[in-house]
Structure 1
Amino acid sequence: MKKRWVADASLLAVTFVWGATFVVVQNAIAFLEPLSFNAIRFSLAGLFLLGWLVIFHRSLFHHYTLPLIRSGIWMGLWLFGGYALQTVGLLFTTSSKAGFITGLSVVLVPLFSFLFLKQKPSVNAVIGAVMAAAGLYFLMGGDGKWTFNRGDVFVFFGAISFAMHIIATGKYSVHYSPMLLTMTQIFTVAVLCTIIAFLLEDETQIWNAAVLQKREVWTALLITSLLATTAAFLVQTNFQKYTTATRVALIFAMEPVFAALTAYIWAGERLTASAIIGCIGILCGMIFAELPIAFITEKRWRAKRRITH
């Protein structure tokens, strides 16, 4: 029991870090272009994780195989798409909206699992998806006049990419070492971000000492590379075995809430009444989608029993 509570608390801390990084990343990319930022972030994270494995888990390298590398690269492609689109989107939208739109990946997973893996979604997953879609409608105005800006569109496609990454992770993590898969996908993201940054962005900014020395930039790089990437994956890998997948999904559903709270506290962002209703709808949809169907059935049965008695 104690290990489960420690695991849940640790995963909740990881979720808070993920939610809080929306604000710090948004501050950093005002000085360093988004793909350049991610190139440095994931390079640092990959090096940190490589050092961790060399020092504490060197024997794992014997399990490196070509299929594992291919799987890690495929996961990294989706992860790259998610972070690249999300970070670009933060140039044009708010941290709180980006957090809730990204959170839609939780309810997109059952849909994509059905389309690509032929896994039939549960009834509560479908209802949760509808609730989240309604919440997204209110988040964007709720008056029929869509207020999607290009940042929201980028973040939404990033959410799709994150959902595909979750599916790929679930498919391959049961066959290969999670630690090696994590390191492979992190370096894949780092390489792709570096290549695209040199092609599309001002590559001189990556090596610009004046930019890298700005407090907003180096603080964001340290937080995202050390805490939100390296430590987060290590904590998840180490503690998830002590709790259930449903509890983990419910904990991760708190990420957009933390994003909105930190944006309110640190960036002074304000949401309209319609946007708040939308955020609540998305959060309820995400949580409902992850509730085990047995729990819902039991609640209905208890309610009927109280009525008949």
Structure 2
Amino acid sequence: MLAVAFVWGATFVVVQNAISFLEPLSFNAIRFSFAGLFLFAWIAIVSRPLLRQLSWRVIGAGAWMGLWLFGGYALQTVGLLYTTSSKAGFITGLSVVLVPLFSFLILKQNPTTNAAIGAVLAAFGLYWLTGGAELSFNRGDVFVFFCAISFAMHIIVTGQYSSRYSTLLLTMVQIFTVAILCFIFAFCLEEATNMWDTTVLRRPEVWGALTITSLLATTAAFLIQTGVQKYTTPTRVALIFAMEPVFAALTAYLWAGERLSPSAWLGGIANFGRHDPLRTSKCALMGETVAGKAEYLLVAAKAVLREQWDSFFRHVGRFAVMIL
């Protein structure tokens, strides 16, 4: 999951460059379409029998996940029209606090005291990372706050359904749901003709970003999230995902030459250094060795070759719990 946060954070600069030529909803419509088609082709070629499990229940669960995910992207895009990037980044990051609350209200999971402290520390870290955004609110901030609710709910519903249905099918359906909704709203709110403008699409900044984000930041990232959430809690996922803006700031500093303020460095350190009690996992208490970690990765690799996807995600999840 930390790798997912890294990919999302590291691709932020790439996406930012691309949407200066192709509007955000149009970009995401193409990005999620490519990702969905790639995943469908993979299933059709490698795991064709899995398509028989594509029931209306699976479609409904995946569409519900996709709806919340789209809501996060769309509301953030609208909110950025009326508020600053720093405030949007901080408010979006409040999902790390909302997830434990929703886990308690919806899933009836009581967050531990240390997990709650970790969520609050992560929120403060995000506040400093975004330069100490002003605490005044406008309509853009309201849109972004509902964006944070959407992203938090996406983590919650992913946790609800990931253990019930096929990871590959759930991920494919939610990705196609986001793609369809992005196309609809792009035609309503943006200059949708840019989506078919070959001059725009052939720009290295655009096709490069579409390739990287569709394969890594969409197909691989949501496959990992959906698969690994079977073996961890939504609160833990939210705490790990709070590292995304840290990685985004670091990659912007290293690749784009952006300067980080002292408060940004302080926020990054707060997020890196926050205590997460969930580190003390059962695996750690059992005294797992380096050899044990390697064994999990070996079994996961064998599971891929045998197309045993549940086994793959189970062992990758155990490995992640041991090292995080």
- Is 1:288 paired with 2:276? yes
Counterpart residue number, 1:29: 19
Helix, strand or coil for the counterpart of 1:176?
Answer: coil
Aligned residue pairs: how many? 280
- Is 1:19 paired with 2:9? yes
> Are the equivalent residues in 1 in contact too, given 2:63–2:173 (CA < 8 A)?
yes
- Is 1:202 paired with 2:155? no
Normalized against structure 2, the TM-score is what? 0.74
More off after superposition, 108-117 vs 68-77: 108-117
Equivalent of residue 224 in structure 1, options 198, 202, 213: 213
Helix, strand or coil for the counterpart of 1:146?
Answer: coil
Counterpart residue number, 1:304: none
Equivalent of residue 135 in structure 1, options 118, 125, 129: 125
- Is 1:71 paired with 2:58? no
- Is 1:245 paired with 2:232? yes
Deviations 1:197-238 (A, max 9, x none): 001111111111111111111111111101111133445567
Amino acid at match of 2:181: L
Instruction: Give the distance between the partners of 2:84 and 2:256, measured in 1 at CA.
Output: 13
Instruction: Give the distance between the partners of 2:47 and 2:145, measured in 1 at CA.
Output: 37
Instruction: Give the distance between the partners of 1:30 and 1:244, measured in 2 at CA.
Output: 39
Helix, strand or coil for the counterpart of 2:259?
Answer: coil
What CA RMSD, in Å, does the superposition of the two structures yield over aligned residues?
A: 3.4
> Are the equivalent residues in 2 in contact too, given 1:99–1:255 (CA < 8 A)?
no
Structure 1 residue 134 displacement after superposition: 2.9
Percent identity over paired residues: 68
Instruction: Give the distance between the partners of 2:282 and 2:34, measured in 1 at CA.
Output: 43
Deviations 1:174-219 (A, max 9, x none): 1111111100000000000000000111111111111111111111
- Is 1:109 paired with 2:96? no
Equivalent of residue 44 in structure 1, options 16, 34, 41: 34
Structure 1 residue 282 displacement after superposition: 4.3
Q: Structure 1 regions of 5+ residues with no counterpart? A: 1-10, 296-309
Counterpart residue number, 1:273: 262
Q: Structure 2 regions of 5+ residues with no counterpart? A: 284-324
Q: Map of 1:61-210 to 2, 5 A cutoff?
A: 61-87=51-77, 102-139=92-129, 141-142=131-132, 145-146=134-135, 156-210=145-199
Instruction: Give the distance between the partners of 1:229 and 1:137, measured in 2 at CA.
Output: 27
Instruction: Give the distance between the partners of 1:210 and 1:16, measured in 2 at CA.
Output: 31
Normalized against structure 1, the TM-score is what? 0.77
Helix, strand or coil for the counterpart of 1:32?
Answer: coil
